[in-house]
Structure 1
Amino acid sequence: MSRLSLLAAAAAVPALLAAGCGSTMHHPAAIATVRPRGAQCVAGSFRKYGNARVSYAAIVRGHASAARRPGGRAFARFGKLNVNRVPTIFGIRGARVDRVCSPTWYLVQLPMRPNGATGWVRAADVDVASTKARIVVDLSARRVTLFQNGRRVLSATAAIGSPSTPTPTGRYYVNQRLIPTDPSGPFGPGAVGISAFSNVLTGWTQGGPIAIHGTDAPWSIGKAVSNGCIRLPNPTLRRVFARAIAGTPVIIHA
């Protein structure tokens, strides 16, 4: 992806399948209510959310502040919509719960630098969505694998970052899905935005965000030639786009 392409993407993506679209929406306390009747927890205790089959996303209702600890001073603030004017999404890692096991604060992964940054947000400030999809990117094999409910449903060769602009490794999540106005352009028919940022291109528009997207250069598939993004053949990208909803974990490893 070139700098010009990235600027074009930000300007030419008015259409969006909202990051939570197609997922199951819940009230902030709804996950905790899926428990045996009369369940009790130690007030203030921590409960981990998600496993190999299901993950959760927090969708900002109006505004949300992230703190280093529950009730602490905010170090980052987020509106209902992000810079691309689409819903702001966090990846839920766990929650602090009350004595009836309802979440009061969520520990979430944030779509900001440094990669993998986490913080605590009030449960009352977000809605919750669930997803049974998971994406694994193997950089050494240059391959993207999509799992649904723990089962592999797709595996395809991809283009990855070049040696000078490598794709960052780590655990991330899908935080936005964008549809370019020109499906024949450098992003192909769509882009699955993830919470990662380039470790090299820090001065780029929007901080150098990473995405899984289509391409107008099919010859590049299988090569290490991008500026950090992950390119897929356009037909494959459409299949990934359809399943990779809000909060879908994206694990990138060498």
Structure 2
Amino acid sequence: MTTRRLFLAGSAAFALSACSSTGRSRLENSNVIQVDEPWASHYSLRHDGGFTIPGIDIRKIPEQFWRQDVDYSGSEAPGTIVVNTTDRFLYLVQPGGRAIRYGVGVGREEGLNFRGSATIARKAEWPRWTPTANMIKTQPERYGPVAAGMEGGLRNPLGARALYLYRNGRDTHFRLHGTIEPYTIGQSVSSGCIRLINQDIIDLYDRVPAGTKVIVVS
């Protein structure tokens, strides 16, 4: 079987030094992980917008949540995004009964409350983030210091990209976005909307224009 090596740059900030490896690279403080194609190129370290996004040790994420091409039997038109919050999958419908499937994480509140269809009205790279009033109220010690908002970056909860969903011209406050906690993909977490691995949200962002239809089901 054809394989490639995925290089994960070591970083104390992202605790990658704790990852086991199948070998050592010549890069200082780096891990080398042997994985099957095509996942190596999907989740390797990348530079984007002045930031360095760490590579992902995909052995820590169940295989069904890796980005992959799959059969799709739904009736939605190609280009439509379908999010299944129960199964933790996001589908980008393709022609010919196919789809690109991404694993997602959902918030216990925002991510599970939204249903139905909406439209991507705005896209942002390395978006600014502001916690909701409820987040500040329920966890003041955590969110109070950033109540005025946080600039985009590697510590921003929205990650590398955000897609903003509107319905009838109004903001639903529901987002498809990246995450600084990639190993929560496939799980229900404390807050947030629909989160993807940063490498995946960048891929999705590049594939869909403003005006794309999004359907959220359970």
TM-score range, shorter chain: 0.3 to 0.5
Richer in helix (by share): 2
Larger RCO, structure (CA 8 Å, separation 6 or more):
1
TM-score of the two chains, using structure 2 as the length reference:
0.47
